[in-house]
Amino acid sequence: MKLDLKNIQTETFWRELCPELSISSQPLAEQSDWGQSRPLDSDTWATCQQTIAEDGYFAYDGWFDQRQIDRMQACFEKLEATGIHPVFAFVYDEFWDLLMQMDPLFSDLLDDYECLPAVWSWFVRPDNQSAFAPHRDQVREVDIEDEEHLDYLTIWVPLTDLNHLSSAICVLPASLDPDYEKCSAEIQVESLQNVRTLQGKRGSLFCWTTQLAHWGTRQSSHGPPRMSVGYYIKRTEAENLEEQPPVDFSSPLALQQRLAIIGQQIKNYSRSATAEELEFAQQLIDCGVE
């Protein structure tokens, strides 16, 4: 489906596409009835804290309300059926609300923090596709003045179950990575047994530091598509390494602003975008500036 720039700047277009989802004109921080994550289990959370401190990641299985995940998955399927990239799901409130449900966890890990506009969506099909190759989200010197809190985190939420047939996430734990502390672009896997695979139910919460070496496995031809969304947050006092400012949830996030965020992410992350698609992405960015 070829998107019409004029049409997609109207809420009517998106409401008709996914009428069960919301596009609010109110500040997103004031909305609280889209979904409800399950109560925090103190023992599970203690394990998550220890794991990210020692190995640079954690996995919290089945954190999010399944009804909300149902709606988000249905949105992905509708976008896919109409030929629209799944990152456009971020025009809807529910995809931002998912992030706000994580506040108790990330306030604990980062203290005061901000959401960066570096969001993304994946729809990995079972037709010899794979997700991103081994990499670190940031390759830079990490200088953390506050040793009790992290500075940057990547959040990844699967909307479908992860198992041996799906494209799962593999990580090289920090404690087994000789290049983790210096955050080298080089990734040395000294033993394949050091690699861990993050598997879990739809609506689980996976999180890792931006130094962690990780990658997606190749999708089996016998498995269903893998759908997931990702976010990027930083401690408020940490340097902002993104081109765009953090997302302000205390103010209304207009549709044009959401489209501008999406346009920027297409330019930043889409590996297969054509010249025409990149030009369209720039038009989305320009609409948000006007």
pLDDT tens digits, 10-43? 999 999 999 999 999 888 887 755 556 778 889 9
pTM of the full predicted structure? 0.91
The pLDDT tens digits for 65-94 are 999 999 999 999 999 999 999 999 999 999
**Which distant-in-sequence residues (6+ apart) come within 8 Å of 44 by Cβ?**
60
Going along 98-195, which residue ranges are E strands? Answer: 113-124, 152-158, 169-172
Helix (H, G, I), strand (E, B) or coil at 108: helix
Quote the number of domains for the chain.
1
Length of the chain: 290
Place of tokens 């923090």: 113
Distance (Å, whole) CA 265 – CA 57? 24
The two beta strands, 226-235 and 213-216, are: unpaired
Whole-number pLDDT of residue 103: 86
Q: Are 35 and 101 a contacting pair, CB within 8 Å?
A: yes
| Average pLDDT score over the chain | 88
Say which residue, 181 or 128, is predicted with more confidence: 181
Say which residue, 184 or 57, is predicted with more confidence: 57
Whole-number pLDDT of residue 223: 84
Residues of the chain with pLDDT > 70, as a percent, come to: 91
CATH (domain of 162): 2.60.120.620
Q: Are 117 and 257 a contacting pair, CB within 8 Å?
A: no
At 51, phi and psi to the nearest 5? -65, -45
The pLDDT tens digits for 196-228 are 999 889 999 999 999 999 998 888 888 888 999
In the predicted model, what is the mean pLDDT of residues 246-254? 91
The pLDDT tens digits for 35-44 are 567 788 899 9
The pLDDT tens digits for 45-64 are 999 999 999 999 999 998 89
DSSP class of residue 30 equals G
Whole-number pLDDT of residue 262: 94
In the predicted model, what is the mean pLDDT of residues 132-137? 88
Q: Are 146 and 194 a contacting pair, CB within 8 Å?
A: no
Distance (Å, whole) CA 278 – CA 176? 39
pLDDT grade for 242, boundaries at 50, 70 and 90: confident
Worst-scoring range by mean pLDDT, 9-18, 109-118, 142-151?
Answer: 142-151
Whole-number pLDDT of residue 59: 94
Distance (Å, whole) CA 285 – CA 262? 8
Going along 12-151, which residue ranges are E strands? Answer: 57-60, 113-124
- 258: tokens are 């959401």
Whole-number pLDDT of residue 72: 96
In the predicted model, what is the mean pLDDT of residues 251-269? 92
Distance (Å, whole) CA 115 – CA 83? 28
Q: Are 130 and 146 a contacting pair, CB within 8 Å?
A: no
Domain range for 197 is 5-289
Worst-scoring range by mean pLDDT, 100-104, 106-110, 124-128, 263-267?
Answer: 124-128
Cβ-based neighbour number of residue 117 at 10 Å: 21
Going along 139-243, which residue ranges are E strands? Answer: 152-158, 169-172, 196-198, 205-209, 213-216, 226-235
Whole-number pLDDT of residue 141: 59
Whole-number pLDDT of residue 146: 45
- Asked if pLDDT for residue 120 goes beyond 50, the answer is yes
